[in-house]
Amino acid sequence: QLQLQESGPGLVKPSETLPLTCSVSGGSISSMYSGTYRWGWIRQSPGKGLEWIGQVHSGGTELNPYLRSRVTISVDTSKNQFSLRLKSVSDADTAVYYCARLDSGGPGDYWGQGILVTVSS
């Protein structure tokens, strides 16, 4: 059974960079990386709806146009992980961040449990 687990700091200061990692177990990213699957990040800020941040696959990355200038998503197949870096964070970036496996039809059955990240000085 594929499992995803987010890790990273729970508190980040304004203007700094938020680094998050998603560790995948129960399956190999590399075997799925070259296929139809994407590995992505989705967040939910307090009182707001889900927001797709972006996704990475063998063909490259696709990013939310409203976050594109601040987001980097990468894959480390040797560690079976993929990562998110969100720079220049502000209060508006306080959210629960989820990693997920997506396909052409969008976020699917496999999500991490989520990690709460608070932006505060």
The residue within the footprint of another protein, chosen from 46, 105, 120, 121 (CB under 8 A), is 105
Strand 18-25 versus strand 3-7 pairing type: antiparallel
Question: Is 113 an interacting residue with respect to another protein (CB under 8 A)?
Answer: yes
Size of the site for another protein (CB under 8 A): 21
DSSP 70: G
Structure-derived torsion over alpha carbons of residues 38, 24, 98, 36, reported in degrees to the nearest 10 = 10
From 11-19, 24-32, 77-85, 98-106, span contacting another protein (CB under 8 A): 98-106
Question: Is 114 an interacting residue with respect to another protein (CB under 8 A)?
Answer: yes
